[in-house]
A and B are shown apart, each in its own frame.
Chain A
Amino acid sequence: MIARLRRWIPAIGVFVAFIALWEAVVRVFDIQGFILPAPTAILAAFPGAWPEVWPASIGTFLSALGGLALGTTLGILAAAGAARWPMVRDGAMPLAITANSTPIIVLAPVANAWFGLLSPWSTIVVVAVLVFFPVMINMVRGLLSTSASELELMASYAANKRTLLWKLQLPGAMPYMFSALKVAAALSLIGAIVKEYFGGSQARLGQYLTLKAGNFQFEEVWTAILLASAFGIGLYLLITLVERRYMGWHVSVRAAKV
């Protein structure tokens, strides 16, 4: 326990030093609030901003989470299909890889037209589409990462395709799934907020940011930025925690635990 805490000391030190430097730079160079407010100024803005910024963050976060769940689920299902049938794989993979290298977020205004400006579904769907491709591509790679000798072992037991998937391919794909999830989690928050820039409910982070920036209330803007970051970090930590819990066997986690 002590040893583990000690490992955090450098990170905490750097963080504190960073905040202190930020404060100092703002004060020494007398930087204007709209360029960069001091940490103390942001902190002071929190109580006033809270009744507005907190529900907006929660709303955006839930949409992002919904999209993440939907996109991940569909991505995994699609990957299982692609891994199972070579025909599906050959048909779908080039498309998926192409789609994954396009800025899908440009769909945002279109989604508003499809689902209505105020429906949370427009955000959820944009995020789901955004998350779908990296999850699917990584999962296909993971499901096909089984070695020839492992496949021979399963063949010697006359294991059917379903057994192969559940007992060999899915467990083997876990490391791929977790790295895909970490990318997807960050992507989901970015996607949700950027989508909301294009319009939607006022009680959402994207709209809140546009509004406050338009009014030159940059301390409020920064409260939103910090809350969004906090949600992003929280989501990442949660995924890492689950990963450690269920993937203690894997080299990456083994190394991290030592």
Chain B
Amino acid sequence: MTDFAVSLAAVSMIFETAGGSVHALDDITIDVRDGEFISLIGPSGCGKSTMLRLVGDLLVPTEGNVAVRGKTARQARLDREYGMVFQSSTLLEWRKVAANVELPLEIMGVPPEQRASRAREMLALVDLTGFEDNYPWQLSGGMQQRVSIARALAFEPSILLMDEPFGALDEMTRERMQMEVLQIQKQTGTTIIFVTHSIPEAAFLSDRVAVMSPRPGRIAEVIEIDLPKPRVFETREDPAFFAAVTKVRESLRGFEAFE
């Protein structure tokens, strides 16, 4: 038994495709603490989404082992420990916005009145009050992405796996959503694995940032972000914040220089 929320031990992932095999991840070993906020950052195609899928048991590693709260990843999925925000919003087009948010609650057998009030609450959180009865295609890309965040939060999973959740948002909305996610994490103690392409975002949100290098995907460096918590608006003006941003940037540049 460990008190880690997620442990990856010597995990490798090789995809066999018609065009040959793709070595997506190589020898990934990392432990994520309970209640930690960890970001994955790295160039496109370095295996970030693949890593989230392995943790969420949507893929099975070619080699190595994934453990979640002392269980297998599969058992954790069956126990509904994961809330996933996919890179694309993946809303069901025949369901209205509120019904999309209610989907996991419906599957988990939550009674209708409770579902409805929970959906309303979550939509308010992502600033989409008044859009409950719209269809997904009537929303902008960023709004759709926020619906999918509300959906993932709706059933209070113990582990959130978020794949570029704020990618489609404007700067102001993005900062608001960042604060909301941190707030939720503080209240619920959720463990969050967060994929992003934004260095400042990773530095602002995370306890640690895992910098990944491509072909095959590896963890090049894990950077501790020594910023006081809770993170507040002024954190972005803290010299320590700039130091953290610089550290991540230089780490990313480190292996890119070899390309």
The yes or no verdict on A and B being binding partners is yes
Complex: A149 Cα to B106 Cα, angstroms: 19
From residue 133 to 182 of chain A, which have CB atoms closer than 8 A to chain B?
147, 149-150, 152-159, 163, 167-168, 171-172, 174
Given A153-B90, A171-B94, A250-B93: A159 touches B58 (CB 8 Å cut-off)? no
**Residue with the highest number of chain A CB atoms closer than 10 Å, among B58, B82, B106:** B58
A249 touches B93 (CB 8 A): yes
B140 within 8 A of A: no
Complex: A30 Cα to B236 Cα, angstroms: 91
Complex: A254 Cα to B82 Cα, angstroms: 35
CB distance from B151 to the nearest CB of A (A): 9
Complex: A250 Cα to B136 Cα, angstroms: 11
Complex: A248 Cα to B96 Cα, angstroms: 11
Partner of A158, one of B53, B80, B86: B80
B77 touches A168 (CB 8 A): no
A157 touches B58 (CB 8 A): no
Contacts of A147 in B (CB 8 A): 90
Q: Chain A binding site: helix, strand, loop or mixed by DSSP? A: helix
Given A149-B86, A152-B58, A153-B84: A159 touches B107 (CB 8 Å cut-off)? yes
B104 within 8 A of A: yes
Bitwise, A53-73 to B at CB < 8 A (1) or not (0) is 000000000000000000000
CB distance from B216 to the nearest CB of A (A): 23
A158 touches B94 (CB 8 A): no
Contacts of A167 in B (CB 8 A): 92, 103, 106-107
B233 within 8 A of A: no
Bitwise, A229-254 to B at CB < 8 A (1) or not (0) is 00000000000000000011110001
A156 touches B77 (CB 8 A): yes
From residue 88 to 137 of chain B, which have CB atoms closer than 8 A to chain A?
88, 90, 92-95, 103-104, 106-108, 135, 137
A156 touches B56 (CB 8 A): yes
Contacts of B78 in A (CB 8 A): 158
CB distance from B30 to the nearest CB of A (A): 21
Partner of A155, one of B77, B92, B106, B108: B77
Given A153-B86, A156-B84; 9 other pairs, CB 8 A cutoff: A149-B90, A152-B58, A152-B86, A156-B56, A157-B103, A158-B77, A168-B92, A171-B94, A247-B94
- For the complex of A and B, 4 pairs with smallest distance between CB atoms: A156-B84, A249-B94, A149-B90, A171-B94
Task: List 27 interface pairs A-B (beta carbons < 8 Å), by A numbering.
Answer: A147-B90, A149-B88, A149-B90, A150-B90, A150-B92, A153-B86, A153-B90, A154-B107, A155-B77, A156-B56, A156-B77, A156-B82, A157-B80, A157-B104, A158-B78, A158-B79, A167-B92, A167-B107, A168-B92, A171-B92, A171-B94, A171-B95, A174-B94, A249-B94, A249-B95, A250-B93, A254-B137
> Which A residues are closer than 8 A to B by beta carbons?
147, 149-150, 152-159, 163, 167-168, 171-172, 174, 247-250, 254
